[in-house]
A = this chain, B = another copy of it.
């Protein structure tokens, strides 16, 4: 079995030679070679230059030895193309024109994937450059998380504005979510058409919702996105944080793989999801600050709990900028080494 097969097989729950591993935000600020590129161009420009997006997407594939590449982009890129200006600041993105009423929602355009042709060009360039060494993951935000950014005008602590819209004007919230679901369905289908072999849907803020609200305002729209993908469908990974109360519902979106954060043991998560459901996760990103022997023990613990198949190793959220690169490399090595020992048992 080649390195190229591991990740795709694990997404299907098939036996693997060792546990595949990649890292959310693996192309990012913790890498000096990424910072070198960023010193020359802004974040949005980097997303919009297929040559540079390709360069930074490939950086961690060799440096870390991960088993998948993920398109360098941002979940708000298609939102900007729908008509909502986005500013990328050091403290996170902000949207200077929050979408909070009927006319603002109606002004948003359903995404035409050609309007983000630079993303599709990047997918094609990355895919060609990878030469099938490892698979390429495309991605989008989930409709609820994107709606949160649009309505809040950026990140949020209490998500008052999006919840106020959902609770006081549910018909408007549904109209916005439907527009986002249609857009993300088209967007991911276009990424698959351009060469993405797996897609991950980031419902980063799903965990702020009560289960009932997740069922009303998030689940059906994520399902709509997944159902818009062309058959035969590429594997779909659904990811969120603070979702220990929502895991079964994440699975019920129709996604093939359920992301699990570190707030719940991955064996407890698997027991709840059922044995046939592959999972991705779930090391605390801060565990990369541990001394190597403790890091190794944590990695082994995740591998042991997750079991030898149907598991993609990852952090439970994005790698943090102050992370030592050597620690990320060590993590990947340990996963492969111990995963191989487990797979051959």
A residues engaging B (CB < 8 A)? 158-160, 163-164, 167-168, 207-213, 242, 244-246, 262-265, 268, 284-287, 289-291, 294, 301, 320, 322
Contacts and interface: CB of A to CB of B under 8 A. Distances in A.
Given A242-B263, A244-B263, 10 more contacts: A158-B320, A160-B322, A163-B284, A167-B286, A167-B287, A168-B289, A210-B262, A210-B284, A211-B264, A242-B244
A291 B284 CA distance: 39
Nearest to A163: B286
Contacts of A263: 207-211, 242, 244-246
Contacts of A164: 286, 289
Contacts of A265: 211, 245
A67 to B, nearest CB: 24
A158 B168 CA distance: 32
A168 B327 CA distance: 13
17 contacts: A159-B286, A160-B286, A160-B322, A163-B286, A164-B289, A168-B289, A168-B291, A207-B242, A210-B263, A210-B284, A212-B301, A213-B284, A242-B244, A244-B244, A245-B263, A245-B264, A246-B263
Contacts of A289: 160, 163-164, 167-168
Given A242-B242, A244-B245, A263-B244, A167 B285 contact: no
A187 B278 CA distance: 48
Nearest to A317: B158
Contacts of A284: 163, 210, 213
A260 to B, nearest CB: 10
Contacts of A244: 242, 244-245, 263-264
Contacts of A320: 158, 160
B158 A290 contact: no
Contacts of A268: 245
A164 B320 CA distance: 12
A331 to B, nearest CB: 14
A301 B216 CA distance: 16
Centre residue among A164, A213, A263 by max chain B CB count within 10 A: A263
A249 to B, nearest CB: 11
A164 B208 CA distance: 26
A168 B245 contact: no
A103 B41 CA distance: 42
